[in-house]
Amino acid sequence: MLRMETKKDMVVKDNNNQFEDPVSSLIVKYLREEISVDEMRDLDDWMSQSASNKKLFESLLEEKNFEKFLSRATEVDVDNAYAQFKQRVGDRANDIVQPRIINWRRISAYAASILIPLAIGVILLLQTNSVVEDETIVVEKESERTQLILSSGEKLALDQTELDTLYKDNTTLVADEGIIAYTSKNNIESEINKLIVPRGHEFQVILADGTKVWLNSESELKYPTVFNDRIRLVEVKGEAYFDVAENKEVPFVVETGGQQVRVLGTEFNVRNYKEENSITTTLVEGRVELISTDDRFEKFDLFPGEQAKLSYETMTINKKFVEVTEFISWKDGLYAFKGRDLEGVMQELARWYDLQIIYQDDEVKKQLVTGRIKRVDGYQSFIELIEKIEVAHFELNGNTITISEYN
């Protein structure tokens, strides 16, 4: 069995560091895997405020980028930089993230405890000042193809939209790279929008009621621009994570493949890809009620940590407790898998990176692997590790990967 999980390196903690501010402190705790659930919420709040915040955070996860940033930070007037940073950033602080690990072996424990919070603070200052230098690392997006289809049939290419405010379908849309937010006045006519996220992409939408939705690759979300006072109904194909705004008077309902998930305010993940022939619902917080739209099963509740999988083939439901991180980490750019067959892992990577997979041997599909892949790292690092332990052989030709038994 392949195991690719990285051991966490120890870093000395300095609780008296005078240069730690709320944001840089959260990033440091995230990198050290010491961040609490509440702190992760605050960090995600800060990231969701702008595409540039999210890009900076993702680039910090790569060691080569961080070391370059660190080098730049040590050349800055520390006292002046920190003073400006504290004034500009304050305590800006929305998504839940799970720890991702950076390799600190080249940075001494003492230096890390002093320089890392300082460096991150300086980096944030440089970002807010819009300093552009040749060596600045930017996380590049894939080709822009995510589309928003309005009620009129008009199509907007959202990935091509930098920060902009639009007025469409009786509502105001604030669009930025990778995210769109709806704000609507009361007593206006609601329209239906559809968000389509193709292979190789992901997207986030904030609905009119404040509910946040993350869409994975090859997924669709259909929703009204304004909810009525009876029900908040949306439809999903593919995979989506929901952080539902609480409203005890108006239930939030997600419909997918003949199943409804009914909630008042909670966080959960729904997965319904056509080729998997099943619907998987994983509850993170709160409580949800699963209802069949065609009487295939009796309605039942899910509680935190529980997962329900409805099989279309057998028309049965398997309910069990799971480690939810494995099933929701995709929304934070991390794919975690434990004891999964190679075919399932490669199917996921194919969606993420828009790949075509060809198998020359059915037996190789059954090899079990365990590990974690950061989206920004690309699929090549995973392939290299598989070949090193002689699990399978890969041949790459553009976006096509041919897999055979290792000889």
Q: What's the pLDDT at 65? A: 53
User: Within a 13 Å sphere around the CA of 347, how many CA atoms are in the beta-carbon half?
Assistant: 12
| Contact of 77 with 85, CB cutoff 8 Å | no
Distance CA 398, CA 385 (A): 20
Phi, psi of 279 (to 5 degrees): -120, 125
Per-residue pLDDT of the chain (407 residues; tens, 9 = 90+): 344 333 333 222 333 444 445 777 777 777 766 777 778 878 877 877 766 677 677 766 665 455 555 554 444 444 554 454 444 444 433 333 333 333 333 334 444 444 555 555 655 555 544 433 333 333 334 445 789 999 889 888 886 555 566 666 667 777 777 888 887 666 677 889 999 999 988 999 999 999 999 999 999 999 999 998 899 999 999 999 999 999 989 999 999 988 999 998 899 999 999 988 999 999 999 999 999 887 778 889 999 999 999 988 888 889 999 999 899 999 988 888 888 899 998 999 999 888 999 999 889 999 888 888 888 888 888 888 777 777 788 999 888 999 998 77
H or E element at residue 357: strand 356-359
Place of tokens 């990033």: 27
DSSP string, 259-310: EEEEESS-EEEEEE-GGGTEEEEEEEES-EEEEESSSSS--EEE-TTEEEEE
Instruction: Find the distance separating the first CA and the last CA of the chain, reported in whole Å.
Output: 17
CA distances from 56 to 67, 73, 272, 337 (A): 14, 14, 32, 26
Domains and CATH numbers, the chain: 2-128 (no CATH), 142-225 (no CATH), 228-328 (2.60.120.1440), 333-405 (3.55.50.30)
97 token code pair: 């993230």
Bridge partners for 176 per DSSP: 179
* Strand duo 232-243 + 267-272: pairing: antiparallel
| Contact of 322 with 307, CB cutoff 8 Å | yes
State pTM to two decimals: 0.64
